[in-house]
Structures are given as structure tokens and as C-alpha cells.
């Protein structure tokens, strides 16, 4: 539709009757197999996605009046490729291992603001790579259970606009769970280590050690249980996140109720006949 909305003289919008319909092409291929020897499982997947004629907003800025003219236009589309491998097996002797690796690579385009009568469309191309690894090792022996896990994420960004430097964001987590069962008692000790790097705020580039613990007791022929859970004993639990595009970068974090202890009682009633 062709129209001009100048209700706000500092931000005028103009319609575009020549807009085309946007399309997205996506495809994926998956393969999985199981081997009886050592209870092995392997799965592989690849995927592809491409955007055609996406719609973006072109901004024209007038430095004399301080006003903007905005119009929707079909812009250059991006694409993304992804692959992942998952493998797990029984190692014998109570050990079990699982690993998952994935990589995603693609490019997208951000629209630069046009200043003082400049024409055409100015693009800032972003190329991004996201690598993820999840490795878990589990050990069980009688009443003793041990879980070791590590999560690693690496996000890498480059831009055609030389004013924007390369960016790398790293997130690492080492998770541990120790559990021991002694008759009707169960004891759990859960330390975690977190490392974050590459954020613009130094307050988010931290090392954090979290500590949780739990003890529970079953009674009344295992129908009832009483559990004491201590969460975040060191008061360090936070979550960081980032959203990076070709034209913007947003970072933030969230915190929860820290350093608390809960007491829980559960009872299982018999099913009615």
C-alpha cells in the first residue's frame, strides 16, 4: 500500500506497494543407529535454512531536521547450516559416557541507516559460528552414584562493517553430582563451576562456584519421605545471556532467590481398588 504517515514529523513512515512475499526454505537429514555391543547409540543430523526476500525497514536520516523517514523493503536474505553428532555407550564396570557436539554457521544482513539523501541499501553482513559440546560421564557402583558433566559454548561473530570488531563469547560449565544411599537415607552433594568470557560488561565475565546439597530419609515402608535441600550455599547463582545481530547487541543477566533451605515432606497414598 502506498501511503505516508507523518503524524510524528520526526519519524515519518512510507508505504511500499512493491513488497514481495517472503519465503523460507529449510531442509534436514537425520541418521541414527544402535549397536548391541556395549549398548552404543549414534545419531547424526544436518540442516539448512535460507530466507528469500525478507522484509526490513530502511531508515533515511536528515541531519538538518533530525527526522527519520522509514520504509519497508525486501532486503538480502541470509542462510544457515548446521550439523550435530550424538554418541553414547556403556564402558563397562559401571561407567557410561554420552557426548553431543553441534556446529551452526551462517550469515545474515543488517541494514545501515542512510544519511542526508544517500540512496540504495547499505548492508552490514554478519557471519556467525556457534559451537557447542556436551560431555557426560556417569558411574554407578552399588549405593554410590557419580555424575560428571561439562558444557562448552563458543559464539564467534564477524562483520563486513570494519567499525565492528570480531566478537567471541565463551560459556563453560562443569557439573558434578555425588549421591550415596545408606538404607533409608540418601545424601547428595552437587558442586558446579561456571566460567563466562567475552561480554562487554566486566561484571558478566566471571568465574562462579555453586554449591547445593540434599539429604532425604524414607520411612513408613517407603511411603513417606522427608528431604532437606540447601540451594546455592555460596550465594553465586546468576544466568547471563546475549543476543547479537548484524545491527545490535543485547546482554543481560538474571538472578534468583539465593541461599535458601527447604524442607519437603512427601507421602504416597495407596491406589484405590
Residue 228: which residues within 8 A CB-CB, separation 6 or more? Answer: 214, 215, 216, 261, 262, 263
| Residue 74 vs residues 57, 95, 121: alpha-carbon distances, Å | 9, 55, 10
Q: Please, which pLDDT band fits residue 3 given cuts at 50, 70 and 90?
A: confident
Q: Which helix (H) or strand (E) element contains residue 65?
A: none
Q: Convert the pLDDT of each residue in 220-257 to its tens digit.
A: 888 899 999 999 988 888 888 888 888 888 998 887 76
Of 38 and 193, the one with more pLDDT: 193
pLDDT cut 70: percent of the chain above it: 98
Write out the three cell numbers for 86: 550424538
CA distance 255 to 257: 7
What is the arithmetic mean of pLDDT over 127-152?
96
pLDDT of residue 270: 79
Query: Strand 224-231 to strand 260-267: parallel, antiparallel, or no bridges (unpaired)?
Result: antiparallel
Contact in structure between 220 and 255 (CB atoms under 8 Å): no
Q: Whole-angstrom distance between the N-terminal and C-terminal Cα of the chain?
A: 68
Residue 273 has pLDDT above 70, yes or no: no
CA distance 104 to 96: 27
Q: Please, which pLDDT band fits residue 199 given cuts at 50, 70 and 90?
A: very high
pLDDT of residue 236: 85
Contact in structure between 188 and 213 (CB atoms under 8 Å): yes
Q: What is the pTM of this model?
A: 0.84
Q: Convert the pLDDT of each residue in 17-44 to its tens digit.
A: 999 999 999 999 999 999 888 789 999 9
Nearest to 61 by CA among 122, 126, 135: 122
Angle at 128 between CA 123 and CA 133, to 5 degrees: 170
Q: Please, which pLDDT band fits residue 271 given cuts at 50, 70 and 90?
A: low
CA distance 254 to 92: 41
Angle at 105 between CA 89 and CA 123, to 5 degrees: 165
Q: What is the mean pLDDT of the chain?
A: 92
pLDDT of residue 253: 85
pLDDT cut 90: percent of the chain above it: 70
Q: Please, which pLDDT band fits residue 166 given cuts at 50, 70 and 90?
A: confident
Contact in structure between 127 and 110 (CB atoms under 8 Å): no
pLDDT of residue 238: 86
pLDDT of residue 272: 58
DSSP state of 119: -
Please spell the DSSP secondary structure of 212-235, one letter per residue.
Answer: EEEEEEEETTTTEEEEEEEE-TTS
Residue 153 has pLDDT above 70, yes or no: yes
Residue 178 has pLDDT above 60, yes or no: yes
What is the arithmetic mean of pLDDT over 178-206?
94
Amino acid at each position: 500500500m502506498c501511503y505516508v504517515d507523518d503524524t510524528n514529523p520526526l519519524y515519518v513512515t512510507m508505504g511500499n506497494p512493491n513488497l514481495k512475499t517472503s519465503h523460507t526454505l529449510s531442509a534436514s537429514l537425520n541418521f541414527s543407529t544402535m549397536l548391541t555391543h556395549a549398548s552404543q547409540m549414534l545419531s547424526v543430523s544436518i540442516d539448512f535454512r535460507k530466507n528469500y526476500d525478507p522484509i526490513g525497514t530502511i531508515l533515511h536520516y536528515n541531519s538538518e531536521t533530525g527526522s527519520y523517514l522509514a520504509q519497508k523493503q525486501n532486503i538480502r536474505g541470509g542462510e544457515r547450516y548446521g550439523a550435530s553428532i550424538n554418541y553414547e555407550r556403556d564402558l563397562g564396570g559401571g561407567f557410561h559416557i554420552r557426548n553431543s557436539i553441534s556446529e551452526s554457521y551462517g550469515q545474515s544482513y543488517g541494514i545501515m541507516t542512510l544519511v542526508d539523501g544517500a540512496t540504495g541499501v547499505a548492508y552490514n553482513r554478519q557471519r556467525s559460528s556457534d559451537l557447542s559440546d556436551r560431555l557426560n560421564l556417569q558411574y554407578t557402583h552399588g549405593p554410590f552414584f557419580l555424575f560428571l558433566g561439562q558444557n562448552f559454548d563458543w559464539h564467534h561473530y564477524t562483520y563486513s562493517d570494519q567499525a565492528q570488531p570480531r566478537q567471541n563469547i565463551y560459556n563453560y560449565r562443569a557439573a558434578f553430582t555425588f549421591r550415596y544411599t545408606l538404607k533409608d537415607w540418601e545424601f547428595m552433594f552437587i558442586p558446579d563451576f561456571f566460567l563466562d568470557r567475552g561480554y562487554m560488561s566486566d561484571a558478566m565475565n566471571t568465574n562462579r562456584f555453586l554449591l547445593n546439597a540434599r539429604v532425604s530419609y524414607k520411612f513408613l515402608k517407603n511411603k513417606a519421605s522427608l528431604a532437606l535441600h540447601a540451594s546455592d550455599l555460596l550465594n553465586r547463582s546468576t544466568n547471563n545471556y546475549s543476543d547479537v545481530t548484524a545491527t545490535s547487541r543485547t546482554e543481560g543477566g538474571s538472578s534468583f532467590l539465593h541461599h535458601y533451605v527447604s524442607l519437603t515432606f512427601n507421602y504416597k497414598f495407596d491406589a484405590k481398588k
